[in-house]
Structure 1
Amino acid sequence: MTSSPDLPEGYLLDNARAEAGERFVWLAELFDGVTLGHVDRLGIGPGSRCWEVGAGGPGVPEALAATVGPTGYVLATDIDHSWLREGDGYEVRRHDVAADPPPEPGTFDLVHARLVLVHLPDRARALAAMVAALRPGGWLLVEDADTALQPLACLDDSGPAQRRANRLRDAVRELMTRRGANLRFGRTLPGALRAAGLVDVAASGSFPVGGPACDHLEAATIRHVRDELLTAGLTDTTEIDAHLTAINAGELDLTLAPLISTWGRRPSGH
């Protein structure tokens, strides 16, 4: 699908707005435990070298820094790293994983990206850069949504507020598609990691249903893309305001697309 001429190009949920900081907080609340559980299971610990790609907020870099300790190293990169805090045990660099060469190729025990590749037009190049950064035996952990796998905001759409929430989720999905996001990307990750030459590839899925963190994330997301939704003619102010009121009233059991976590190891000697 081509982009509307009325809409700007680029990442829909960019880091430049205040709502991005709110989204980082609630994404961390919802998914950091999932991510760090995988990190621990992959054997990342004191002395490990880690690259956090498209870090966004500070949650995962800080946790990785605590995991690897003073003998390890954590590099956090993003195109816009304004939400990252240099000096909290990790290094911060501006880096475009889909355009720039990988930092320190062949040296990382773990390369991790969460909710990054789904938004990139050149996902294959970004994935190749991450694989190139791994040392032999190092692990790549990629976590991305598969919005088409579970497209609803409310699984129980029995009332008008729930159906409105689902209409607005459809509108946000439409905006993402126009910006080049692949809403079926998560399910392709195991095959993509195998095609990149990684071994011991496996995956799992996770998504929360209901609770304050889902409510806060939904509200921040809708405020973030409000102007784009209106410009595209996908909704109106009355519908958006009614949805935000229902969220604030705690009337909705909101959920997200499944987060597909996929991991693979660079073969020893490669």
Structure 2
Amino acid sequence: MMRTNGHLLGHRQGLTATEAGARLDAFAPLFDPTTFRHIEGFGLGSGWRCWEVGAGGTSVISWLAKKVGPTGRVLATGADTSWMAPVARPPVEAHVHDVGADDPPGEGFDLVHARLALVHVTDRQRAVRSMIRALRPGGRLLVEDADPALQPLACPDEHGPEQQLANRLRQAFRTLLTRRGVDLAYGRSLPRLLREGGLRGVRAEAYFPVAAPACAALESATIRQVRAELVASRLATEEDIDRHLATVASGGLDVATAPMISAWGRKE
């Protein structure tokens, strides 16, 4: 199983399927266009062998499967693969795997991709080395992770009490992450880590959505998932959370996500 830094938002944190699913459902409209744009730039096509690391939803897996076709392969790995059942059919395979502790589940991959996965892995350097090792010569690695320290606010335009409350709750959430050992500045280190791993042509971009409907959906789902821990830690009250969730549901907040850093490179 994947040994993490006490992942607050993993599939196995006592969450209902609806609670976990709501957050994953928000990832696709927010981040899939950016992810797909980068991967298509690599020339992804029929017959490619792909490893999707720490898969957190089915949208990327399904998209890759359509692109590689019946002659390709999409290996999706994570701590819990039971939820992958709807897409676990050829060319998709689902394996339980810990990228920070286990050997690579194969070699010769044309593409290895990890999105919002490594920040929760204890041994991130080993994880990056493992993914690079799994690539064929000329293969591409794309790693995408958040950098909450780069932009820490839920509402960058803090013009009133509701925005102030949103930002206070975002800070409380960041406090919980820090207590679990999460590196809030991890995303910005990705280009350097890929270069240190020997990749060539390393590039990176940051994606920072503001005021999209999926931003509000992600905010609501995240706060609901960590609600009990926020209250138990005395970082927020039930009244604070109810008020914030109501404001988000009303559409009265321009909610932002933490910037997602996408970094990619090629193995020689």
Give the shorter-chain TM-score range. over 0.9
Alpha carbons of structure 1 residues 227 and 113: separation in structure 2 relative to 1, 3 Å: same
Report the AA paired with residue 66 of structure 2: A
Please list every run of at least 4 consecutive aligned residues from structure 1 whose deviation after the TM superposition is greater than 3 angstroms: none
* Count of matched residue positions in the alignment of Structure 1 and Structure 2: 259
CA deviations on 1:23-81 (whole Å, 9 max, x unpaired) are: 11111110011101100001111111000000021111100011111111100001012
CA deviations on 1:120-139 (whole Å, 9 max, x unpaired) are: 22101111111111011100
Q: Give the deviation of 1:82 after TM superposition.
A: 2.7
Could you tell me which residue of structure 1 aligns to residue 84 of structure 2?
Answer: 84
Alpha carbons of structure 1 residues 213 and 88: separation in structure 2 relative to 1, 3 Å: farther
Asked if 2 retains the 8 angstrom alpha-carbon contact of 1:11 and 1:119, the reply is: yes
Identity across the alignment (%)? 55
1:103 maps to 2:105: yes
Q: Give the deviation of 1:172 after TM superposition.
A: 0.5
1:12 maps to 2:8: yes
Unaligned runs of 5+ in 2: none
User: Partners of 1:197 and 1:113 in 2: how far apart?
Assistant: 18
Q: Give the deviation of 1:92 after TM superposition.
A: 0.6
TM-score by length of 2: 0.94
Asked if 2 retains the 8 angstrom alpha-carbon contact of 1:51 and 1:108, the reply is: yes
Asked if 2 retains the 8 angstrom alpha-carbon contact of 1:15 and 1:21, the reply is: no
**Matches for 1:55-70 after TM superposition, within 5 Å:** 55-70=55-70
Asked if 1 retains the 8 angstrom alpha-carbon contact of 2:148 and 2:185, the reply is: yes
User: Partners of 1:67 and 1:241 in 2: how far apart?
Assistant: 43
**Matches for 1:38-187 after TM superposition, within 5 Å:** 38-85=38-85, 86-87=88-89, 89-105=91-107, 107-187=108-188
Report the AA paired with residue 49 of structure 1: R
**Matches for 1:231-242 after TM superposition, within 5 Å:** 231-242=232-243
- What secondary structure does 1:141 align onto? strand
Asked if 1 retains the 8 angstrom alpha-carbon contact of 2:72 and 2:91, the reply is: no
TM-score by length of 1: 0.93
Asked if 1 retains the 8 angstrom alpha-carbon contact of 2:202 and 2:263, the reply is: yes
1:221 maps to 2:222: yes
How much is the aligned-residue C-alpha RMSD, in angstroms?
A: 1.3
